[in-house]
Amino acid sequence: MARMKFICDAERCIECNGCVTACKNEHEVPWGVNRRRVVTINDGVPGERSMSVACMHCSDAPCQAVCPVDCFYKTEEGVVLHDKDLCIGCGYCFYACPFGAPQFPQSGAFGLRGKMDKCTFCAGGPEADNSEDEFRKYGRNRLAEGKLPACAEMCSTKALLGGDADVLSDIYRERVLKRGKGAEIWGWATAYGKPEQKPAEQPAKTGEKS
């Protein structure tokens, strides 16, 4: 098995925030913490694009490089995870991450910052798989149930894909080859499909002089 990755197809994402909701619901993520969010550029302008963004589980993760207590690790499947028991909530990883993936729960009038929380690729953390402790600290471990991340699996337009990087590449390549590229993939025909059948031919009128 190759590395686990996410890919978001900006041509398909409709900014429904279904992935964000699925993530929140699946892991019971507290208020103020968004493991995944949808970013839109050129909002309201023809040609606007949306992307669902979370931890990209980098091959050379900057969060892992800057962590002063070395609480990050990478699993055999290439998922970047961390040990919350070791995290000191310093926030270095937040500044290092180019995607803004690390999140910090805050509470109280002075905004006391808690331990870092981020997308786990639905792979839990360093606790017994599918245990109560794992769920409380890291959320549900869908990978240990043989499932892929909830956000990708429930994406209605299949804009967000998650799983084995090689397979995702094949899916995305096939998709791009079928739909084409450029101006023809934007607009009515892409949204509602091209007419597949020609209009029925009218029968020739009888008794008509040729």
Residues that bind other proteins (CB under 8 A): 1, 69-73, 75-77, 81-83, 85-86, 123-130, 141, 143-148, 152-153, 158, 161-164, 167-168, 171, 174-175, 178
Distance of closest approach, residue 76 Cβ to other proteins, in angstroms: 7
Distance of closest approach, residue 161 Cβ to other proteins, in angstroms: 5
Residue (24 or 142) nearer to other proteins, CB: 142
Residue (106 or 169) nearer to other proteins, CB: 169
Distance of closest approach, residue 31 Cβ to other proteins, in angstroms: 26
What does the alpha-carbon distance between residue 136 and residue 28 come to, in Å, rounded to a whole number?
9
What does the alpha-carbon distance between residue 94 and residue 202 come to, in Å, rounded to a whole number?
66
Residue (100 or 115) nearer to other proteins, CB: 115
Residue reference for tokens 């000191």: 88
Residue (2 or 189) nearer to other proteins, CB: 2
Residue (29 or 151) nearer to other proteins, CB: 151
- Determine whether 195 is exposed, middle or buried from the number of CB atoms within 10 Å of its CB (0-12, 13-18, 19+): exposed
Distance of closest approach, residue 108 Cβ to other proteins, in angstroms: 27
What does the alpha-carbon distance between residue 77 and residue 6 come to, in Å, rounded to a whole number?
13
Distance of closest approach, residue 100 Cβ to other proteins, in angstroms: 23
Distance of closest approach, residue 134 Cβ to other proteins, in angstroms: 10
Residue (35 or 137) nearer to other proteins, CB: 137
Sorted by sequence, the CB contacts under 8 Å of residue 187 that are 6+ apart come out as none
